[in-house]
Amino acid sequence: MNWNAFLFGASAALALVGALFAVGLKNIFHNILGFALSLVGVAGLFLTLGSDFLAIVLLLVYVGALGIAMVYAVMLSQPLDTPRTPRSLPKVVGSALLAAVVAMALWLVIRRAHFPPSGGSLEVTPQMTGYRLLSDYVLAFELISILLVIAMMGAVMVARKDRSRSGRAASAAPKASP
130-159 residues near other proteins, rule: CB under 8 A: 132-133, 137, 140-141, 144, 147-148, 150-152, 154-156, 158-159
Neighbours of 58 (CB within 10 A): 18
Rule CB under 8 A: say whether 53 interacts with other proteins: yes
d(CA 121, CA 49): 11
In this chain, which of 1, 2, 77, 173 binds other proteins, going by CB under 8 A? 77
What angle do helix axes 68-77 and 28-48 make, rounded to 10 degrees? 170
**What is the maximum span of the chain, computed from C-alpha positions, in angstroms?**
72
Q: Please give the residues from 17 up to 36 whose contact with other proteins meets the rule CB under 8 A.
A: 19-20, 22-24, 28, 31-32, 35
Query: 57 vs 163, which CB is nearer to other proteins?
Result: 57
Q: Which of 7, 10, 56, 70 contacts other proteins by CB under 8 A?
A: 70
Q: Which is nearer to other proteins, 86 or 174 (CB)?
A: 86
CB 34 within 8 A of CB 10: no
Say whether 177 sits in a helix, a strand or coil: coil
- Contact between 7 and other proteins per CB under 8 A: no
Contacts of 133 (CB under 8 A, 6+ apart): 140, 141
How far is it, in rounded angstroms, from Cα 117 to Cα 140?
28
CB of 174 to other proteins, least distance (A): 19
Is residue 66 close enough to count as binding other proteins by CB under 8 A?
Answer: yes
Which helix (H) or strand (E) is 39 found in, with range? Answer: helix 28-48
Among 161, 171, 174, 175, binds other proteins (CB under 8 A): 161
Of 110 and 172, which CB lies nearer to other proteins in the complex structure? Answer: 110
**Closer residue to other proteins (CB): 6 or 98:** 98
Residue 26 sits at φ, ψ, to 5 deg, of -85, -40
User: How far apart are CB 163 and other proteins at their closest, in Å?
Assistant: 13
